[in-house]
Chains A and B, each alone.
Chain A
Amino acid sequence: KAGVTQTPRYLIKTRGQQVTLSCSPISGHRSVSWYQQTPGQGLQFLFEYFSETQRNKGNFPGRFSGRQFSNSRSEMNVSTLELGDSALYLCASSLYVGQPQHFGDGTRLSIL
């Protein structure tokens, strides 16, 4: 069974640009969550989607947004990139909300 797939694996952008990251959950999983990992702040929750609806959002500015499609695939978008957005962005999927989350390899975003 294929795991959570995140694309791209690496991304380099400059300040002010925007970026879209993609996540394909494990087949059959309907809940998708996004996390940001940085050396300073650790792992922080961004948002969670279930059946195309955002159920929960972490404490991040409005520049961070996401969506989920009918096939459960999810995208997250960051607009007007700042240097502090450099991080590993991890996507996780689970069968339902509250079930164990299984993570992808992440997208490493570097802002120059």
Chain B
Amino acid sequence: AQKVTQAQTEISVVEKEDVTLDCVYETRDTTYYLFWYKQPPSGELVFLIRRNSFDEQNEISGRYSWNFQKSTSSFNFTITASQVVDSAVYFCALSDTYGGSQGNLIFGKGTKLSVKP
């Protein structure tokens, strides 16, 4: 079955700390995509990254980095030197072709990150 698990419900850090958000996924497909989205208090989901299942290279974008490991079915997200503006709910999501479902996102429950000044 397709499933995305974000075990951390809430995380609170102090500004400038590094923080890692965990994401574990389940799928029967060999071809799939993984995503991270950010949802600030305003409510809009902001796309952060998409990785496909054949590309296990880690990616860095400014203070953000992502670690994709197929062996452990994980796609973790690290924020380095966190800032107050990083406070939001972060969602990990999976898109695969199982059952013809390509195109719909299966979301984890989200991790609420609070960064205190």
A residues neighboring B (CB under 8 Å): 31, 33, 35, 42-45, 48, 50, 55-56, 58, 88, 90, 92, 94, 97-98, 100-106, 108
A-B contacts, 11 listed (Cβ < 8 Å): A33-B103, A43-B91, A45-B106, A56-B100, A56-B102, A97-B103, A98-B102, A98-B103, A100-B35, A100-B50, A106-B44
The answer, among A45, A50, A94, A103, for a CB contact under 8 Å with B45, is A103
Taken together as a complex, chains A and B put the C-alpha atoms of A44 and B93 apart, in Å, by 11
Number of interface residues of B (CB under 8 A): 24
Main secondary structure of the interface of A (DSSP, over half): strand
Give me 13 other A-B pairs in contact (C-beta within 8 A), A43-B93, A45-B106, A58-B104 excluded. Answer: A31-B103, A33-B103, A35-B105, A43-B105, A43-B110, A44-B107, A56-B101, A92-B45, A92-B105, A98-B102, A100-B47, A100-B50, A103-B37
Whether the Cβ atoms of B104 and A56 lie closer than 8 Å is yes
User: Residue of A at shortest CB range from B100?
Assistant: A56
Number of A-B contacts (CB under 8 A): 58
B residues neighboring A (CB under 8 Å): 33, 35, 37, 42-47, 50, 91, 93, 95, 100-110
Q: Nearest chain B CB to A109's CB is how many angstroms away?
A: 13
Q: Nearest chain A CB to B106's CB is how many angstroms away?
A: 7
